[in-house]
Structure 1
Amino acid sequence: MLTQSIRERLALFKEIYAELYTELKWKCDKRSLMLIAAMYVTNSKEFQLHRFLELADYIKNEVGLFSHLRTAHRFTVAATLETTTDTPKEHFAHFSTIYQKLIDNGYSRAVYSYIAAGTLLKIEPHKVEEYAQKTVDLYKGMREHHPFLTNSGDYPLASILATLDKNKEDILLHVEEHYHALKQKGFTIGNDLQFLSHILALNEEQKPDESAQKCVEVKTLLEKAKFKSKKMYYPYIGMLSYLEQVESEMNHLVAIYEDLNNDRLFKWNKDVNFMLSVLFLMSDKALLTEAATTGLNTTIEVLLQAQQAAMTASMTAAVAANNANNGG
């Protein structure tokens, strides 16, 4: 059963998506449009199609000929700027500075570097160099621990972890403790597990074995609710583990998921629908300002930002794979 607030947000999501799809169906992947629509809804930001398109065009005109921001990714960046700042055009210069600092410190010129820059938009200008260096140092530390798992898709979570008020060594240790605790609980090793350990490390207070046990319980509840047990769902298990009463929220999660699956516009994107269902459920908790966390020391806003970054990264990878398979 859907709560009134979730029902209203789902309706708004579909309304924004329909506008985006009508205008951009030949320019942007459907999954990316779903994410963009969700970003406006979960951040409680008003969407105006004309303003959004104008900003996307502005971004395209401000970058070099070979920039990733001349592609469809400019639409995701435009949404990021609009949903996280009050002056998106002015903040694009700040965004570009952050991106360049990440490149200067060792990131590659990949789409994921832009996603990482978007997560650092609220960093004050005089602290950009510090956080860019810390971000890249964290990423390099991750690569040292897991050289075959870590790739540019991990850029965004490294930047979010860099905002924690802890030094690099303590953050990396905390991530590794979570990774090994989850492995001991039977989670399959791989990049998805590493992503999950990053999500759990945002909670600076909870002990790794307790977090891992909570994730086992969430995984079991999802399987009982007939959700498939997929490794790609691991980060979202981590999101749900922050809820205090996960079992009581399962009916809401299922209701959101079924609502999206039963809509002809979304029924072919069940994995995205699951990700969005978790995002809508978590954002509803933020909207209600409930303390629905297990000793969470960071804000639910950061958790939502982490999920949006994770989704953007996974959508980017999916679209790139699709284009490669189609010879695009």
Structure 2
Amino acid sequence: MLNQTVTERLDLFKEIYSELYSALKWKSDKRSLMLIAAMYVTNSKEFQLERFLELADYIKNEVGLFSQLRSTHRFTVAATLETTTGNPKENFSHFLDIYQKLIKNGYSRAIYSYIAAGTLLKIDPHRVEEYVQKTVDVYRGMKEHHPFLTNSGDYPLASILAASSDKNKEEMILHVEDHYYALKKIGFTIGNDLQFLSHILALNEDQNPDESAEKCLEVKTLLEKANFKSKKIYYPYIGMLSYLDQVESEIPQLYAIYDDLNNDRLFKWNKDINFMLSVLFLMSDKALLTDAATTGLNTTIEVLLQAQQAAMTASITAAAAANNSNSGG
């Protein structure tokens, strides 16, 4: 059964999504609109459709004719600016400056570079150069260890890790790698999803890799017993749930959120996204407790939202490419 706070958040999510869908159903992918609605809810930010659309138009008008931000991506950037800054329009130029610094230091002009820039918005402006360089260094370290897994889709992960840690590049990469191989050792399937999970776990710098891997295996087993499908794309969310002390007692609540979304006609065709959002809503509810055990949850929620932007972008881009290929005969 859903508690009052989660029910309120779900109702708000559905309300925001319905407004977005009515206004943008011919301009944006439904999954992206779900993610945007979740960004406002989990960040406890007020949503006003007219203000949001005005900001999206402002972004479109401020960039060049061939910029990727003239496409549907401007809506996600608008949501990022509104949910992470106090003055979105004023901070848009700062956002573009961070993006250009990332390009100058070695990132490609991919949409993922914009998402990475969004993760650095909260950095002290005087330290942006330092963190941009650190971000690119972390990405190169990832590429050295996993050359076939690491690509531009990992740009946001590298920036998130760089912005969330005081460790130097070598220490950070080794900490991630220790988690990666601890997870591999106990049966998690190697690949990009496992790399993503190892980054989530590495955000807790004091975590013992073997212990956190065992906790993840426990969470995975509990989810399977509760009839959640075991999918590699769920790995990062397993990592997030592993932050909870008493995971087993939270599974019924998680399933209730998931079931609620699956039974709503607006969302029933997006079960994978529903699972991911269910974890985010559950964890954001826990973050409201503000006790010592949950102080890192808000950061982790932001991490997953930003990383989910990257995953969503990848799937939408792949689907568009496949459609174009089929259309071309």
Q: Which position in structure 1 is the counterpart of 2:319? A: 322
After superposition, give the CA deviation of every residue in 1:82-111 in whole Å (9 maximum; x if it has no partner): 011110001111111111111110001111
TM-score, scaled relative to structure 1: 0.97
Task: Give the structure 2 partner of residue 201 of structure 1.
Answer: 202
RMSD of aligned Cα (Å): 1.0
Match of 1:226 in 2: 227
Mapped partners of 2:82, 2:35: distance in 1? 14
- Please give the alpha-carbon distance, in whole angstroms, between the structure 2 residues aligned to 1:322 and 1:291: 42
Aligned to 1:91: 91
- Alignment partner of 1:212: what SS? helix
Correspondences of 1:62-101 after superposition (within 5 Å): 62-101=62-101
Contact 1:285 1:292 in 2 (8 A): no
Distance (whole Å) between structure 2 residues aligned to residue 305 and residue 14 of structure 1: 20
| 1:215 alignment counterpart | 216
Report the alpha carbon displacement of residue 299 of structure 1 after superposing the two structures with TM.
2.5
The residue type equivalent to 1:274 in the other structure is F
Within-5 A mapping of 1:130-141 = 130-141=130-141
Partner SS, residue 21 of structure 2: helix
Counterpart-to-counterpart distance in 2, 1:152 and 1:278:
26
The match for 2:269 is 268
The within-5 A match list for 1:1-328 is 1-163=1-163, 164-293=165-294, 299-327=296-324
Task: Provide Cα deviations, 1:250-295, integer angstroms capped at 9, x if missing partner.
Answer: 01100000000000000000000001001101111112224445xx
Q: What are the ranges of 5 or more consecutive residues in structure 1 without an aligned counterpart? A: none
Matched residues, number: 324
Identity %: 78
Cα deviation, 1:93-144, whole Å, max 9, x if unaligned, reads 1111111111110001111111111111011211111100000000000000
Helix, strand or coil at the partner of 1:326: helix
More deviation, 64-73/282-291:
282-291
Q: Which runs of 4+ in 1 moved over 2 A?
A: 290-293
- What is the distance in 2 between the residues matched to 1:244 and 1:156? 28
Q: Which moved more, 1:318-327 or 1:3-12?
A: 318-327
- Unaligned segments of structure 2, at least 5 residues: none
TM-score by length of 2: 0.97
Distance (Å, rounded) in 2 between the aligned partners of 1:272 and 1:200: 21
Match of 1:243, SS?
Answer: coil
Question: Distance in 1 between the 2:94 and 2:247 partners?
Answer: 38
Q: Which secondary structure state, in structure 2, belongs to the residue aligned with residue 162 of structure 1?
A: helix
1:318, 1:136 → 2: CA distance?
Answer: 24
